[in-house]
Structure 1
Amino acid sequence: NDLMIFQRSHGGANVATLVERKTRYVALYRNEDRRSRRVLGRLAGLLGPLPAPARRSVTFDRGLEFLAWRELTKATKIDVWFCDPQAPHQKGAVENANGRIRRWLPSETPVADLAEDALAKLCARLNGTPRKCLDYATPAKAFAAEMKRVSEEPEPCRNQG
């Protein structure tokens, strides 16, 4: 997970990028500001409907917008990991996705004026583009197959202590 920040002259709105590591499936959502509880609350709402095996962990950088990570863990039972300081390469899939997204959402984009359906169309475009790393399957197709596979798996045992 990462936040794409835009020019301050357009306000504090930003776009959160979530990339499923195995299938490269991308989800985007807009935030009005960088307040941690709001950003992570939206993330919890996005991840909540997924089958438990499909939402085992999420990795953040060291940004202040992720300070409320304990609340995310409590609400969703998702393990949270953090990259080492100054090591964005440790979450390369999301950094790569941000580079692709910047083609359509450069830093001067007034994100506050961006309609939610515009973000949905951008997600559809990204998830509908065949990827070499997926043997030229699309992220959407790979994600659907993975969701089918994990929904048939038994729930993993977790140490409660």
Structure 2
Amino acid sequence: IYSYLYVLPRGALRKELVRCLRYHHINRRIHGKSRQKSCPIQDYISIEERPAEIADRIIPGHWEGDLLMGHNNGSALGTLVERTTRMTFLVQLKDKDATTVRETFAKEFKHLPKGLKRSLTYDQGQEMAEHKLFTKTTQIQVYFAHPHSPWERGTNENTNALIRQFFPKGTDFSKVSLKNIKQAQDMLNDRPRKTLGFLTPHEVFSKLLH
């Protein structure tokens, strides 16, 4: 995966940052206990503690996640987007409670190699309340964005707008078949992207798997 950094269509990488990738560590501060009144998530790691290489999209395997809400917030579709390749997983959810989301997201990541499941950046929605158990199960570190700051998960927010082309606001996701969800996923991942040198997310992601 490290060698693949040099063929991604993103121009010259900063040598000093690449040199530090294997050795850079940060002291993580655990948040949440002092914010119990304002945030339902306890013992979380803030996006402020996220390593620089994640923000710069240099190393693949860092994801952003969200729920796309259905009609009257009664149903939801899980969305997971890899920051470097824009590979997108659309996740059918039977419910949007924390246990269902944790188990279903973990299952979605299960088939990926370790190098492609490094971190997940999420908002402070209650559905990620079991983040510590999710990390224990998957070894994927979860970072939490600031409240009301969708730009901190810009890749996911932009992708959600594309997903709405298939599932407009008001969609009842409990009535959408898994087949239709995966068809939409395939169409998203087979769409050439300018930021990828007009390759598709599927093409770039597949090169990381082989």
When the two structures are superposed, what TM-score results if normalisation uses the length of structure 1? 0.87
Which aligned pairs between 1:45-56 and structure 2 lie closer than 5 A?
45-56=107-118
For residue 5 of structure 1, the aligned residue among 59, 62, 69 is 69
For residue 93 of structure 1, the aligned residue among 133, 140, 155 is 155
Match of 1:125? 187
Deviation at 1:25, TM superposition (A): 0.5
Distance 2:147 2:110 in 1: 28
Whether 2:124 is the aligned partner of 1:69: answer: no
Unaligned runs of 5+ in 1: 149-161
Retained in 1: the 8 A contact 2:98–2:126?
yes
Unaligned runs of 5+ in 2: 1-64
CA RMSD, 1 decimal = 1.0
Deviation at 1:18, TM superposition (A): 0.3
Q: Work out which structure has the larger RCO, using CA pairs closer than 8 Å and 6 or more positions apart in sequence.
A: 1
Equivalent position amino acid for 2:69 in 1: I
Distance 2:137 2:205 in 1: 24
Distance 1:49 1:92 in 2: 25
Deviation at 1:29, TM superposition (A): 1.1
Runs of 4+ more than 2 Å apart: none
Q: How many correspondences in the alignment?
A: 146
When the two structures are superposed, what TM-score results if normalisation uses the length of structure 2? 0.68
Match of 2:96? 34
Match of 1:156? none
Retained in 1: the 8 A contact 2:91–2:108?
no
Whether 2:140 is the aligned partner of 1:82: answer: no
Question: Kindly, what percent of the aligned residue pairs are identical?
Answer: 32
Deviation at 1:7, TM superposition (A): 1.5
Equivalent position amino acid for 1:7 in 2: H
Retained in 2: the 8 A contact 1:57–1:78?
yes
Match of 2:9? none
Match of 1:102? 164
Classify the secondary structure of the residue corresponding to 2:146. coil
